[in-house]
């Protein structure tokens, strides 16, 4: 009887130590999760600040002011534009048999590939 009592006490001590270890590990994991949440919030705040700064830097008025100060641009003259009639002619269309993909499409019929099984043969 004494041996059984000693074994039960050893089992209880072992179980208590395992419970303590699990609790300690879960506390460490909770602290790690909280730290990651804080880092994530910090990064999101930094992204929001960078987006606001980009929106401020990307405004057309600011860019136009910088271009006026730093570039020697001249105003657009109406003579710089041309009519559509002065565009070069469109290149001639390729003959119908020169494009292998269009030839396959014109033939029609089911496309047989490695991923689509061939249709059953007609009897």
List, for residues 51-99, the tens digit of each pLDDT value. 999 999 999 999 988 988 988 888 888 888 888 888 888 877 777 667 7
3-state secondary structure of 73: coil
Instruction: Say if residue 118's pLDDT is above 70.
Output: no
pTM over 0.75: no
Q: pLDDT tens-digit profile of 6-27?
A: 999 999 999 999 999 999 999 9
pLDDT (0 to 100) of residue 15: 95
H runs (alpha helix) in the chain: 2-57, 60-70, 100-107
Q: What is the CA radius of gyration of the chain?
A: 38
């Amino acid at each position: 009887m004494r041996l059984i009592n000693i074994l039960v006490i050893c089992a209880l001590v072992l179980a208590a130590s395992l419970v303590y270890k699990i609790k300690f590990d879960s506390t460490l994991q909770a602290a790690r999760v909280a730290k990651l949440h804080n880092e994530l919030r910090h990064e999101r705040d930094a992204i929001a600040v960078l987006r606001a700064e980009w929106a401020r830097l990307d405004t057309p008025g600011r860019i136009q002011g910088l271009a006026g100060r730093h570039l020697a641009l001249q105003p657009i003259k109406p003579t710089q534009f041309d009519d559509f009639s002065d565009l070069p002619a469109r290149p001639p269309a390729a003959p119908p048999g020169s494009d292998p993909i269009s030839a396959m499409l014109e033939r029609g019929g089911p496309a047989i590939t490695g991923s689509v099984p061939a249709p059953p043969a007609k009897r």
